[in-house]
Amino acid sequence: MKKFVAFIVAVCLVCATLWSCGVFGHFTDVRADLPDLTSTQMKSEVIHALGYVEPVSELRRLVFKIDGVIGECRVDVGTFVKKNDVLMVLQNQSELAAVALAEMELAVSTSERNQLVAGAPAFQIKAAADKEELLHEHVRHAKKQFDRSKALFDRKSLSEEESDRAETDLIRANKSLQQAVSELEHLKNLVRPVDQAVVETKVQRAEAQLASARQRLADTILTAPFDGTVLEILRREGEAPRMFDREPVIIFADNFKLRVRAEIDERHVSRLRQNQKAIIFGRGIGDAIVDGQLTLIKGIMGPKTVFSGAASERKDLDIVQVLIDLPPDFYAPIGLQVEVDIQVEE
């Protein structure tokens, strides 16, 4: 024990001697002579993350709006279609019949309205006007006969019976003329506002019924929401998709425009900036190294969904998703897991 204590004391004496000679100070001066590593390259840092390839349009899981039985599938997996092209059709014979019936009801209502608005036929009005003119002549003749008979009766040259007959003929001619005038006015003003309102309401109801029938028919047809490719068909002819389970019948996307959705854990969120450079690599794309650019940082945190399987990987941290645009000539299967290095500045 005494030897060990003596050894410790000797070592302390040697260190004190060296310090007094400036040996340690010499080492300190040499360290101070090293270059100042303050370049941008030394201040940069790489954030490593996992992500997966997805279309810019995102995956669309297409469903029908109504229940039914699939009657026709017009596409195959890998088919490229244009926007509004028909993908699938439910059995829709009843909907087609309903549209045809609604179209006929609208045609009938429209004809009734046009007939009413047109009023009386022109030839009928012409005939009533001619009749009125003829009766005017009858009245004029009856009035002349009545004046003559009255003069004769005053001179005692005409019997009272004949005078009364002439007066009756004049009254009858006036009544006929009044009736003809009323008939002509009726024909000229055949369309009443209340009648026109009734037929207009009938037409509007028929139009609404037709629109409803066409919408029900459209709901039996599944169309492409945009230009893209059919990635998967999950239901076929004879199967019955139901609204309550909401399982898609077709998975659809525009796989010509791809990007990477990566997950950055919460420790690095504060260093993310839009337009930062990113490098995409991984065994799924072989030896390729793809340059990308961070274009969107989501404003909400969430649980981790992409895992590497490493024993040291932490699964309890929340993440924020970022979107990285890729070159237009890049192609990979949708859903392929890749690794991402994002270059950040301290």
pLDDT confidence tier of residue 29, bands split at 50, 70 and 90: very low
pLDDT confidence tier of residue 4, bands split at 50, 70 and 90: low
With beta carbons less than 8 A apart as the criterion, state whether 260 and 324 touch.
yes
Tell me the mean pLDDT in the region 325-345: 90
Q: Is the pLDDT of residue 2 over 70?
A: no
- Higher-confidence residue of 246 and 50: namely 50
Tell me the mean pLDDT in the region 7-18: 58
Q: Which of 271, 270, 282, 280 is nearest to 324 (CA)?
A: 280
User: Which region among 43-47, 54-58, 137-141, 292-296 has the lowest average model confidence (pLDDT)?
Assistant: 43-47
> What DSSP state is assigned to residue 270?
G
pLDDT score for 26: 40
Q: Which of 206, 222, 346, 217 is nearest to 273 (CA)?
A: 346
Q: Is the pLDDT of residue 32 over 70?
A: no
214-227 in b/e form (b: 16+ CB < 10 A) is eebbebbbbebeee
Phi, psi of 322 (to 5 degrees): -125, 150
Share of the chain above pLDDT 90, in %: 42
Model-level pTM? 0.63
Question: For residues 47 and 141, what is the distance between their CA atoms, to the nearest angstrom?
Answer: 115
Q: Is the pLDDT of residue 10 over 80?
A: no
pLDDT confidence tier of residue 42, bands split at 50, 70 and 90: very low
Question: For residues 130 and 148, what is the distance between their CA atoms, to the nearest angstrom?
Answer: 27
pLDDT tens for each residue of 248-276: 999 999 988 999 999 998 888 889 998 99
Q: What is the CA radius of gyration of the chain?
A: 49
| Secondary structure (3-state) at 259 | strand
pLDDT tens for each residue of 55-70: 998 889 999 999 999 9
> What DSSP state is assigned to residue 200?
H
Listed in sequence order, the DSSP H helices in the chain are 2-20, 23-32, 40-43, 93-118, 122-154, 160-188, 193-218
Question: For residues 262 and 278, what is the distance between their CA atoms, to the nearest angstrom?
Answer: 11
pLDDT tens for each residue of 225-237: 999 999 999 999 9
Residue 261 pairs in a beta bridge with 52, 323
pLDDT tens for each residue of 97-156: 999 999 999 999 999 888 877 776 777 778 778 788 888 888 888 888 878 887 777 777
**Residue type at 323 in one-letter notation:** L
Residue 293 pairs in a beta bridge with 277, 325
Residues 6+ apart with CB under 8 A from 124: 187
- Residue for token pair 């003829």: 134
Tell me the mean pLDDT in the region 93-99: 95
Question: For residues 310 and 304, what is the distance between their CA atoms, to the nearest angstrom?
Answer: 14
pLDDT score for 266: 87
The overall average pLDDT reported for the chain is 82
- Residue for token pair 């945009």: 226
pLDDT score for 44: 56
Residues 6+ apart with CB under 8 A from 303: 318, 319
